[in-house]
Amino acid sequence: MRTTQLFFQTFKEAPSDADIISHQLLERGGYIKRLGRGIYSYTPLMMRVFKKMLTIVREELENAGAQEISLPFLHPAQLWKESGRWDDFTAEKLLYTLEDREGHSYCLAPTHEEVVVSLVTNWVTSYKQFPFNLYQIGNKFRDEIRPRFGLMRGKEFLMKDGYSFCRNEQEMDAQYKAMRTAYSNIFRRLGLEFVLVEAHGGKIGKGKSEEFQVIADVGEDAVMVCGEYAANVEATKSIPPSYTYENSLKSMEQVATPETKTIEELSVFLKVDPQQILKTLVFKLIYADRKEFVAIGIRGDRQINLLKVEEKFGPIETLQASEDEVKRLTGANVGFIGPLNTKLTFHADKSTEPMTNFVCASNEDDLHTINVNWERDLPKPEFDDFLLAEEGDSCPHIPDGTYKVQRGIEVGHIFNIGTKYTEKLGAHFQDENGKMKPIWMGTYGIGIGRTAAACIEQSHDERGIIWPKILAPFRIMITAASSKDPALVETAEKLYKELASYEPLMDDRNERLGFKLRDSDLIGIPFKLIVGKSFTNEGKVEIESRVGEKHLIAPEDIGSWAQKHLAL
pLDDT score recorded for residue 205: 54
Rounded Cα gap, residues 171 and 165, in angstroms: 9
Per-residue pLDDT, averaged over 329-345, amounts to 93
* E strand or H helix that includes residue 421: helix 420-425
Per-residue pLDDT, averaged over 557-563, amounts to 96
Fold observed for domain 253-384: YbaK protein (3.90.960)
pLDDT score recorded for residue 331: 93
E strand residue ranges, 37-113: 39-42, 67-68, 74-76, 96-99, 105-108
Q: Write the CB contacts of 319 (distance below 8 Å, at least 6 apart in sequence).
A: 283, 284, 286
* E strand or H helix that includes residue 195: strand 194-198
> What CATH number has the domain spanning 43-237+405-456?
3.30.930.10
Reported residue count of the chain is: 568
As a whole number of angstroms, the longest Cα–Cα distance in the chain is 98
Q: Are the beta carbons of 388 and 304 closer than 8 angstroms?
A: yes
E strand residue ranges, 350-403: 358-361, 367-372, 382-384
pLDDT-derived band at 55, boundaries 50, 70, 90: very high
pLDDT-derived band at 202, boundaries 50, 70, 90: low
Pairing of strands 74-76, 105-108: antiparallel
pLDDT-derived band at 261, boundaries 50, 70, 90: confident
Single-letter code of the amino acid located at 542 = E
pLDDT-derived band at 199, boundaries 50, 70, 90: confident
Q: Please tell me whether residue 139 adopts helix, strand or coil conformation.
A: strand
Q: Pick the range with the lowest mean pLDDT from 43-47, 87-91, 325-329, 560-564.
A: 87-91
The overall average pLDDT reported for the chain is: 94
Q: Tell me what percent of the residues of the chain surpass a pLDDT of 70.
A: 99
Fold observed for domain 465-565: Rossmann fold (3.40.50)
Q: Write the CB contacts of 22 (distance below 8 Å, at least 6 apart in sequence).
A: 149, 150, 151, 152, 218, 452, 453, 454, 456, 457, 460
Q: Tell me what percent of the residues of the chain surpass a pLDDT of 90.
A: 90
Question: Which candidate, 158, 205, 162, places its Cα nearest to that of 60?
Answer: 162
Rounded Cα gap, residues 30 and 37, in angstroms: 18
pLDDT tens-digit profile of 378-398? Answer: 999 999 999 999 999 999 999
pLDDT tens-digit profile of 285-316? Answer: 998 789 999 999 999 999 999 999 998 998 88
DSSP state of 220: S
pLDDT tens-digit profile of 439-496? Answer: 999 999 999 999 999 999 999 999 999 999 999 999 999 999 999 999 999 999 999 9
- The answer to whether the predicted template modeling score (pTM) of the entire model surpasses 0.95 is no
Per-residue pLDDT, averaged over 426-441, amounts to 96
Q: Please tell me whether residue 328 adopts helix, strand or coil conformation.
A: helix
Single-letter code of the amino acid located at 46 = M
Question: Which candidate, 410, 418, 38, places its Cα nearest to that of 204?
Answer: 418
Per-residue pLDDT, averaged over 64-72, amounts to 98
pLDDT score recorded for residue 203: 53
Query: What is the residue extent of each domain of the chain?
Result: 43-237+405-456, 253-384, 465-565
pLDDT at 204 over 70: no
Q: Are the beta carbons of 150 and 18 closer than 8 angstroms?
A: yes
